[in-house]
Amino acid sequence: MKLRDKVAIVTGGAQGIGRAIVEGLAAEGASVVIADLQGADGPAKALRGQGRRALEVDCDVSDEAQVAAMAEAAMRSFGGIDILVNNAGIYSSLVPKPFEDITVQEWRRMMDVNTLGVFLSCRAVVGSMRARGGGRIININSGTPFKGVPFLLHYVASKGAITGITRGLAKELGPSNILVNGVAPGFTLSEGVKANPVQLEKLSEVSVKARSLARDQFPEDVVGAVTFLAGPESAFITGQTLVVDGGAYFN
């Protein structure tokens, strides 16, 4: 229960990696705000049924007003915000294709959700974190910018930007005792990915073969890194990105 009395927001927390993170933070005692486009009520009700404190919020992280409302709901319900996990993003629906086939609309939507959404969410919570004497921001990144994965250029670019945001904010928010780190999973068999036959065909087997630990990766594999970075053991770590991919990439 190392996160007892802490309040955490997880964007994109209704399913996949986000839901696994929500459950992991709640298991450590945190009150959790599950923010997602839809479907957040199910996980929240399940946690409340277990005696946990959980709140569901409908939120499009690319919408400034909705992100502000998300933060306000957390403060109103739980008194403040200590932890933000920026997990919401576009990935599982993607079909790999040459970069010249990516439309301007697809590029802008990717940046709006994966990059602007992180900026807006950080900006919305930082005031409460400062008022509480500090906080933790954990950005769910990807191993793709480190490895230079082809045929997903808009996604790779958006996640590469998250590395820069993590480092820049770590410097800027350090004096406020707000730690900013990233977790970069490898190809993960979430519900969304398993529903995408093209990704499974093109990426699953090659991802397993590239790993030192030659098995599939699941959402639960990411949870330990997140709870570590949210907890007291990581109090002197900031600006880092921890790659969690079974040893496919050594950072």
Provide DSSP, 116-158: IHHHHHHHHHHHHHHHTT-EEEEEE--SHHHHT-SS-HHHHHH
Region 229-248 average pLDDT = 97
Give the tens place of pLDDT for each residue, 46-72: 999 999 999 999 999 999 999 999 999
Q: Output the pLDDT for position 192.
A: 85
Give the tens place of pLDDT for each residue, 90-107: 988 899 999 999 999 999
CB 138 within 8 A of CB 181: yes
- 249 tagged catalytic: no
Q: Which of 155, 156, 159, 223 is catalytic?
A: 155
Structural class in CATH, domain 7-186+219-244: alpha beta
Alpha-carbon dihedral 177, 73, 91, 221, rounded to 10 degrees: 60
Percent of the chain's residues with pLDDT above 90? 89
Weakest-pLDDT range from 19-28, 29-38, 205-214: 205-214
Residue 85, pLDDT > 80, answer yes
Contacts of 222 by beta carbon, 8 Å cutoff, 6+ apart: 17, 20, 21, 140, 183, 185, 188, 244
Alpha carbon distance 229, 196 (integer Å): 30
Residue 220, pLDDT > 80, answer yes
Residue 218, pLDDT > 80, answer yes
Mean per-residue pLDDT over the chain, rounded: 96
Percent of the chain's residues with pLDDT above 70? 100
Residue 251, pLDDT > 80, answer no
Region 146-173 average pLDDT = 96
Q: Output the pLDDT for position 202.
A: 82
Q: Output the pLDDT for position 38.
A: 93
SS3 1: coil
